[in-house]
């Protein structure tokens, strides 16, 4: 409790800023406690003493005396805490000189007797006391140098760290180290601890005046037989050597490359690569020159190969260019040293080596003729020495171009000779060149195609904007965008894995540049279409609003017509007999008009995938009005039924009453002709909408269109059947009311006329809507064939709505009718619907073969070779190749030759070769009517099948000139 009270008292003085009183109390209590053992209270009081000592400088001497007493008190064991206080004092510039003068002599006398932790702290304090005072720093350095030998690990690490700090802050103190540099090297030489080794090496970096002495000592170690010293020297040299090293040092290191000790040789490579990496072109040139002057042995070559590989990892271009520029050629082969280094680079960095060799030829056109020939000789020697297929094929491709370009006769001749040498070196060189050229064409075509992806996406914008539904359009756009993006990703992956990638670096670079632009443009187009979708949807909503207003106007017209009709219906019972036919016709016509308007009003509900509030309110209002009108019309029809019943069954019935017979005939005739006119109105209505309905095929879902067609057709047929019911009911009532044959025959003819018209209109309605369903089915088939080919006929039965039959033969016939009627490039084979768009037209590029021809002249004939390559993923079979010859060309051996040859199959990616021996069979005497030189053609026709019996054919013409 007492201790607790003391701490509170001292803390109160500290908080009040009474530091003089605080320090007095601390001196009192610490002096009292110095006679006791170490305790937490003493440690706490010393911590507070350290915090406040710089606030009581006037009593500094008293404070130092107390600290000295506590430091020297046996058993108290607070030396570390007291040195912590001195460490704080050592940071005060005004006290450094006085403290150094007061304690340095005592430190010199007692340093070795102090514990390790205390010595480490004293070294740190000495560094602080001597900071910014070169004289004191020299004294401290000399003192610490005297304690290098035998120093413990922590003490030595602290000494080396202090040396580095001093040299960093005050480089002039290096003069103090100069007489002792050898001593530092000797101490380093026999140190095995890696941390201390690293500290010494870092220290040597700060001694530039002693660099020569350090390097000479390292070279002496390297020339000794002691591998411990050799390794020590290798570790220092990379640290102290600057941008360039003298030839003695470089030669000594290079000699180390042929050391028998593999571990040491590896260390030499590491050291040399570290030094040479600062100026690789300078060093590797001097290293190659030194090795060639001395006559490089196998050990020298191996060491230089390792060194070149190590340096190439940091600066490949410099290493390769130095080797290539200094290599010598003798008898078409490069020197052993250069070839060995190039082989090493080929093993470690093959792609960079290819790129570097290909880059040499970028400036070929600007070279002088002599320089061009020398470069060609060197590259041929490299290709021959490395035996690299990629370099040989690339060089042969380049030489083929030189052999035909206007480079001069000497270069053309040289190129032809070199191509012949490469053919001897590389088997099937011509086929490989052709393969590379084909792949290059594929890459070029793909790049060209993908550059058009943004435009392609933009051209499809109408497909997305015409859907009418923002969510659906956005999903379709995202799916299309992802599809194009995935193709770009797949092609980029294909490019990265090309085995001949470095033969087409210009194309690869073009692709990587184009890819960024394509992706940017694709994203821009996507954003544009997304904005366009929003705009179109808003405009469509605005159009829908206008359409609703138009519907409201038409509704008002219908209601006005109804009000006029309702006023007549209210007094229908009081109408005379002559007016009943007119009112019946008006009811029939209004019923038709109301239905047609109801179809138009309901059309938006079916077609619009989104709910529109204004339209919903309009539709609810219309439905209420329609139901009310239907109830009123039912009342009118009931009144007509009562009138007919009264007329045909009452006392004044039609029987025997000529006037009433005429009235009823007029009634029935008026109703029949009114119904026939309604049919014509219906026919005109749906025919006028034919163009609009078919234009929706590409902007709406097939299910929505089919739903709308079914709804309209059922509504129209229901209306016709309702009229048929009334016609039949009225006819029966009139037929039973009289035995007047003439009347019965007359109304029978009217009924027959009506029935004929009814059948015609029903047939036209069904045929019209069936044609609409058939057009939808045609679009379905086209869409499905784009996704899967061939399509099993069975899978179409649940999708095609225009074909309703269970019999397979009739169903297939229906499918064939749709395909033919709508000009779909497909045919039915083996219960499969097969697209033949890509294969049955020889003029389309989709035919799955590539035709190549070569001609070899012989003494008496010309050998024409036709190579057919299968470019599809399927196996081709029943392949037939035939040639059509002009009149002046025939077969060399007609008895054994035929214009037609065949093979049973060609595997995917494989070739088949067909050969004909041809000769001139023209007249021996010149024909004066024929020019001496003529151009003619040989037609080559290739046909065959791919799986599911799909036929293909392709025709190419070979143009030639004959005399």
169-187, pLDDT tens digit by residue? 888 888 888 888 888 888 8
What is d(CA 710, CA 800) in angstroms, rounded to the nearest whole number? 14
Position 1 scores a pLDDT of 37
The answer on 747 and 764 residing in a single domain is: yes
365 confidence band (pLDDT: 50, 70, 90): confident
The DSSP element (H or E) to which 120 belongs, if any, is helix 116-130
**Number of domains making up the chain:** 6
pLDDT digits 0-9 by tens, 635-684: 887 887 788 777 776 544 544 556 767 777 777 778 788 888 877 777 77
Output DSSP code: residue 498.
-
The answer on 55 and 187 residing in a single domain is: no
CATH of the domain at 449: 1.20.58
* Residues in CB range of 764: below 8 A, 6 or more apart: 683
Position 679 scores a pLDDT of 78
- The top-scoring range by mean pLDDT among 196-205, 519-528, 685-694, 846-855 is 519-528
Partner residues linked to 856 by β-bridges: 863
Span 763-775, average pLDDT: 84
Structural domain containing residue 107: 90-219
Please state, in angstroms and as integers, the Cα–Cα distance from residue 634 to each residue in 563, 566, 637, 679, 726, following that order.
Answer: 15, 12, 5, 21, 12
The answer on 94 and 66 residing in a single domain is: no
The answer on 866 and 804 residing in a single domain is: no
Report if residue 367 sits inside a domain: no
Position 687 scores a pLDDT of 65
Q: Which residue has the tokens 């805490």?
A: 81
DSSP string, 262-302: HHHHHHHHHHHHHHHTTSHHHHHHHHHHHHHHH---HHHHH
Strand order through the sheet with 900-906? 900-906, 876-884, 934-946, 950-962
CATH of the domain at 958: 2.60.40.10
Lowest mean pLDDT among 239-248, 323-332, 692-701, 875-884: 692-701
Domain end call among 25, 47, 75: 75
Report if residue 132 sits inside a domain: yes
pLDDT digits 0-9 by tens, 129-173: 888 888 888 888 888 888 888 788 888 888 888 888 888 888 888
Span 504-532, average pLDDT: 86
Q: How many CB atoms lie within 10 A of CB 531?
A: 10
The answer on 857 and 922 residing in a single domain is: yes
Say which residue, 564 or 500, is predicted with more confidence: 564
Residue 136's nearest CA partner among 168, 161, 99, 82 is 99
Report if residue 606 sits inside a domain: yes
**Does 696 have pLDDT greater than 50?**
no
CB 705 within 8 A of CB 697: yes
Q: How many CB atoms lie within 10 A of CB 51?
A: 14
What is d(CA 360, CA 348) in angstroms, rounded to the nearest whole number? 20
Please state, in angstroms and as integers, the Cα–Cα distance from residue 313 to each residue in 168, 242, 254, 322, 325, following that order.
Answer: 33, 20, 19, 15, 19
Position 932 scores a pLDDT of 39
Span 419-448, average pLDDT: 80
The answer on 913 and 802 residing in a single domain is: no
CB 809 within 8 A of CB 816: no
pLDDT digits 0-9 by tens, 90-104: 888 888 888 888 878
Report if residue 422 sits inside a domain: no
Position 141 scores a pLDDT of 86
Domain end call among 835, 863, 896: 835
Please state, in angstroms and as integers, the Cα–Cα distance from residue 430 to each residue in 145, 394, 422, following that order.
Answer: 76, 12, 10
Output DSSP code: residue 572.
G
Report if residue 105 sits inside a domain: yes
Pairing relationship of beta strands 889-891 and 900-906 according to DSSP bridges: unpaired
Pairing relationship of beta strands 911-920 and 889-891 according to DSSP bridges: antiparallel
Span 413-421, average pLDDT: 82
Two tokens, residue 832: 């499969």
**Does 25 have pLDDT greater than 70?**
no
- The top-scoring range by mean pLDDT among 380-389, 535-544, 798-807, 845-854 is 380-389
pLDDT digits 0-9 by tens, 595-618: 788 877 776 665 554 455 567 777
Q: Which class for 463: exposed (0-12), middle (13-18), buried (19 or more C-beta within 10 A)?
A: middle
Lowest mean pLDDT among 355-364, 654-663, 726-735: 654-663
The answer on 601 and 698 residing in a single domain is: yes
Helix/strand/coil for 873: coil
Residues 872, 874, 876: CA angle, nearest 5 degrees: 90
Q: Which residue has the tokens 């065959």?
A: 944
Report if residue 242 sits inside a domain: no
The answer on 581 and 688 residing in a single domain is: yes
Partner residues linked to 854 by β-bridges: 865
* Residues in CB range of 677: below 8 A, 6 or more apart: 589
Report if residue 183 sits inside a domain: yes
Q: Which residue has the tokens 């204004």?
A: 614
The answer on 126 and 43 residing in a single domain is: no
- pTM above threshold 0.85: no
Position 919 scores a pLDDT of 82
Q: Which class for 602: exposed (0-12), middle (13-18), buried (19 or more C-beta within 10 A)?
A: middle
The answer on 186 and 112 residing in a single domain is: yes
Q: Which class for 843: exposed (0-12), middle (13-18), buried (19 or more C-beta within 10 A)?
A: exposed
pLDDT digits 0-9 by tens, 882-917: 888 887 788 877 666 678 888 888 887 788 898 888
Two tokens, residue 689: 């909408």
**Does 698 have pLDDT greater than 60?**
no
Partner residues linked to 915 by β-bridges: 865
Two tokens, residue 477: 């756009």
Position 697 scores a pLDDT of 46
The answer on 956 and 809 residing in a single domain is: no
54 confidence band (pLDDT: 50, 70, 90): low
Two tokens, residue 922: 């023209």
Integer-rounded Cα Rg, in Å, for the chain is 53
Helix/strand/coil for 855: strand
Please state, in angstroms and as integers, the Cα–Cα distance from residue 198 to each residue in 180, 192, 201, 269, 901, following that order.
Answer: 19, 11, 5, 20, 80
What is d(CA 833, CA 225) in angstroms, rounded to the nearest whole number? 87
CB 855 within 8 A of CB 862: yes
Two tokens, residue 405: 């370009």
**Does 24 have pLDDT greater than 70?**
no
Pairing relationship of beta strands 333-334 and 791-792 according to DSSP bridges: unpaired
Report if residue 840 sits inside a domain: no
Residue 10's nearest CA partner among 44, 38, 36 is 44
Position 947 scores a pLDDT of 64
Pairing relationship of beta strands 934-946 and 876-884 according to DSSP bridges: antiparallel
What is d(CA 585, CA 873) in angstroms, rounded to the nearest whole number? 70
Say which residue, 19 or 160, is predicted with more confidence: 160
227 confidence band (pLDDT: 50, 70, 90): confident
CB 42 within 8 A of CB 80: no
pLDDT digits 0-9 by tens, 528-543: 888 888 887 777 767 6
CB 173 within 8 A of CB 138: yes
Output DSSP code: residue 932.
S
Position 786 scores a pLDDT of 67
Q: How many CB atoms lie within 10 A of CB 601?
A: 21
Within 13 Å, how many C-alpha atoms sit on residue 196's CB side?
19
The answer on 127 and 5 residing in a single domain is: no
Domain end call among 219, 247, 280: 219
Average pLDDT, the chain: 77
Partner residues linked to 54 by β-bridges: none
The DSSP element (H or E) to which 539 belongs, if any, is helix 505-569
Lowest mean pLDDT among 312-321, 422-431, 574-583, 859-868: 574-583
CB 702 within 8 A of CB 779: yes
* Residues in CB range of 139: below 8 A, 6 or more apart: 104, 130
**Does 695 have pLDDT greater than 70?**
no
**Does 958 have pLDDT greater than 50?**
yes
**Does 380 have pLDDT greater than 70?**
yes
């Amino acid at each position: 409790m007492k201790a607790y009270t003391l701490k509170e008292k001292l803390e109160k003085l500290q908080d009040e800023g009474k530091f003089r009183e605080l320090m007095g109390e601390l001196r009192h209590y610490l002096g009292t406690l110095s006679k006791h053992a170490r305790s937490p209270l003493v440690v706490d009081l010393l911590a507070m003493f350290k915090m406040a000592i710089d606030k009581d400088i006037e009593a500094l001497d008293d404070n130092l005396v107390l600290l000295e007493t506590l430091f020297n008190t046996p058993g108290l064991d607070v030396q570390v805490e007291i040195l912590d206080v001195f460490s704080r004092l050592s940071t005060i510039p005004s006290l450094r000189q006085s403290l150094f003068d007061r304690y340095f002599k005592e430190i010199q006398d007692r340093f070795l007797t102090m514990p390790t932790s205390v010595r480490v702290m004293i070294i740190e304090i000495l560094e602080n006391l001597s900071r910014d005072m070169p004289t004191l720093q020299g004294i401290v350095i000399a003192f610490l140098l005297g304690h290098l030998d035998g120093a413990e690990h922590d003490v030595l690490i602290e000494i080396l760290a202090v040396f580095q700090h001093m040299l960093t802050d005050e480089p002039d103190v290096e003069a103090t180290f100069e007489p002792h540099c050898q001593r530092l090297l000797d101490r380093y030489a026999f140190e095995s601890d890696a941390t201390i080794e690293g500290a010494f090496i870092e220290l040597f970096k700060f001694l530039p005046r002693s660099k020569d002495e350090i390097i000479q000592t390292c070279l002496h170690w390297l020339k000794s037989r002691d591998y411990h010293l050799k390794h020590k020297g290798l570790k220092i040299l990379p640290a102290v050597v600057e941008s360039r090293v003298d030839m003695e040092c470089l030669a000594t290191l290079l000699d180390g490359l042929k050391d028998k000790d593999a571990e040491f040789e590896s260390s030499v490579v590491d050291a040399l690569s570290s030094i040479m990496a600062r100026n690789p072109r300078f060093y590797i040139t001097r290293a190659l020159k030194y090795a060639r002057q001395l006559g490089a042995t196998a050990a020298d070559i191996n060491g230089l190969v390792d060194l070149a590989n190590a340096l190439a990892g940091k600066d490949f271009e410099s290493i390769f260019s130095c080797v290539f520029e200094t290599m010598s050629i003798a008898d078409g082969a490069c020197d052993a040293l250069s070839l060995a280094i190039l082989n090493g680079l080929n093993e470690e960095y093959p792609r960079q080596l290819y790129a570097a060799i290909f880059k040499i030829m970028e400036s070929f056109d600007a070279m002088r003729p002599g320089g061009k020939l020398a470069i060609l000789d060197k590259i041929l020697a490299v290709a021959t020495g490395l035996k690299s297929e990629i370099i040989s094929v690339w060089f042969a491709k380049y030489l083929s171009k030189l052999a035909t370009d206007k480079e001069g006769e000497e270069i053309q001749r040289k190129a032809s000779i070199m191509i012949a040498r490469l053919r001897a070196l590389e088997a099937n060189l011509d086929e490989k060149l052709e393969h590379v050229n084909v792949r290059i064409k594929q890459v070029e075509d793909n790049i060209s195609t993908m550059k058009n992806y943004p435009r392609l996406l933009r051209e499809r914008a109408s497909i997305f904007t015409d859907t009418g539904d923002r969510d659906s359009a956005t999903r379709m756009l995202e799916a299309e965008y992802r599809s194009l993006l995935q193709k770009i990703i797949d092609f980029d992956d294909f490019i990265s894995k090309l085995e001949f990638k470095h033969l087409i670096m210009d194309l690869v670079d073009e692709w990587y540049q184009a890819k960024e632009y394509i992706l940017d443009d694709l994203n821009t187009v996507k954003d544009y279409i997304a904005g366009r979708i929003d705009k179109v949807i808003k405009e469509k909503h605005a159009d829908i609003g206008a359409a609703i207003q138009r519907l409201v106007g038409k509704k008002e017209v219908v209601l006005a017509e109804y009000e006029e009709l309702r006023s007549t219906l209210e007094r229908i019972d009081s109408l005379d007999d002559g007016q009943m036919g007119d009112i019946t016709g008006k009811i029939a016509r209004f019923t038709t008009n109301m239905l047609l308007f109801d179809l138009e009003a309901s059309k938006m509900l079916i077609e619009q995938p989104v709910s529109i509030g204004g339209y919903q309110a309009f539709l609810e209002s219309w439905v209420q009005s329609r139901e009310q009108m239907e109830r009123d019309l039912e009342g009118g029809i009931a009144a007509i039924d009562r009138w007919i019943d009264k007329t045909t069954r009452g006392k004044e019935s039609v029987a025997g009453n000529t006037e009433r017979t005429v009235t009823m005939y007029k009634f029935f005739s008026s109703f029949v002709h009114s119904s026939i006119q309604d049919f014509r109105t219906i026919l005109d209505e749906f025919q006028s909408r034919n163009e609009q309905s078919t234009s929706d095929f590409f902007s709406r879902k097939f299910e929505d269109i089919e739903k709308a067609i079914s709804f309209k057709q059922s509504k129209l047929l229901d209306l016709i059947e309702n009229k048929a019911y009334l016609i039949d009911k009225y006819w029966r009532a009139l037929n039973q009311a009289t035995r007047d044959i003439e009347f019965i025959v007359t109304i029978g003819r009217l009924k027959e006329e009506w029935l004929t018209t009814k059948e015609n209109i029903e047939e036209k309605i069904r045929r019209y809507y069936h044609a609409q369903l058939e057009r939808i089915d045609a679009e379905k088939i086209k869409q499905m064939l784009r996704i899967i080919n061939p399509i099993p006929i069975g899978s179409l039965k649940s999708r095609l709505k225009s074909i309703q039959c269970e019999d397979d033969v009739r169903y297939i016939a229906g499918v064939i009718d749709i395909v033919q009627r709508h000009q779909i490039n497909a045919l039915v084979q083996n219960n499969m619907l097969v697209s033949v768009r890509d294969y049955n037209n020889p003029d389309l590029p989709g035919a799955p073969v590539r035709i190549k021809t070569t001609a070899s002249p012989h003494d008496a004939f010309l050998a024409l070779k036709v190579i057919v390559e299968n470019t599809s993923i399927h196996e081709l079979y029943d392949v037939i190749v035939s040639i059509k010859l002009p009149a002046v060309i025939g077969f060399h051996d007609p008895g054994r030759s035929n214009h037609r040859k065949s093979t049973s199959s060609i595997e995917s990616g494989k070739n088949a070769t067909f050969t004909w021996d041809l000769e001139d069979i023209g007249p021996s005497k010149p024909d004066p009517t024929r020019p001496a030189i003529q151009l003619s053609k040989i037609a080559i026709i290739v046909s065959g099948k791919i799986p599911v019996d799909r036929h293909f054919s392709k025709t190419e013409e070979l143009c030639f000139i004959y005399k």
